[in-house]
């Protein structure tokens, strides 16, 4: 289909993935080793493996909705959703099994309790905690 985004057209790579063609090629190779290109039951994918990967990366980078993203790649909303659901687990970071006993892990958006009330905010649970963006009204 003419006029759609494709990984074979290198000019689409930077704006939609933030990666150089070389970096994108390395990502393709890593995902192939992980088995992301494997066959599945049902109809074959309409998009090539590289195009599916570019769709997922574009989705994460641009935060476009399925309704906006699907026509850019020449597929339906449902297909775009299935591609993202299928490929996303292969792009997730490998989990570490164990951490040192004294390691503190802070997840984005986590309220961290603090005793210094001059730099803390009162949260909905009436505890004081710090945030990344300072005080708000």
pLDDT band at 112 (very low <50, low <70, confident <90, very high): low
Please report, for residues 50, 56, 58, 100, 110, the alpha-carbon distance to residue 21 in angstroms, rounded to integers and kept in the order given: 11, 16, 14, 38, 36
Mean pLDDT, the chain, whole residue set? 77
pTM for the model stands at 0.65
Q: Write the burial class of residue 4 (CB in 10 Å: 0-12 exposed, 13-18 middle, 19+ buried).
A: middle
Closest of 48, 14, 9 to residue 28, by C-alpha: 48
Least confident of 22-26, 68-72, 103-107: 103-107
pLDDT category of residue 2 using cuts at 50, 70 and 90: low
Q: Which residue has the higher pLDDT, 52 or 134?
A: 52
pLDDT computed for residue 86 by the predictor: 87
- Domain ranges across the chain: 10-91
Q: How far is CA 54 from CA 11, 69, 119, in A?
A: 12, 11, 43
What single-letter DSSP state applies at residue 113? E
Per-residue pLDDT tens over the stretch 121-130: 555 555 545 5
């Amino acid at each position: 289909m003419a006029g759609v985004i494709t990984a074979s057209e290198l000019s689409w790579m930077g704006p939609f993935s933030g990666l150089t063609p070389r970096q994108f090629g390395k990502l393709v190779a890593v995902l192939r080793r992980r088995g992301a290109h494997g066959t599945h039951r049902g109809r074959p994918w309409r998009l090539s493996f590289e195009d599916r990967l570019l769709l997922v990366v574009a989705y994460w980078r641009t935060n476009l909705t399925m309704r906006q993203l699907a026509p850019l790649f020449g597929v339906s909303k449902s297909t775009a959703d299935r591609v993202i659901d299928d490929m996303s687990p292969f792009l997730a970071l490998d989990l570490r099994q164990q951490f040192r006993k004294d390691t503190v892990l802070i997840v984005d958006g986590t309220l961290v309790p603090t005793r210094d009330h001059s730099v803390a905010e009162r949260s909905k649970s009436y505890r004081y905690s710090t945030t990344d963006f300072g005080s708000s009204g």
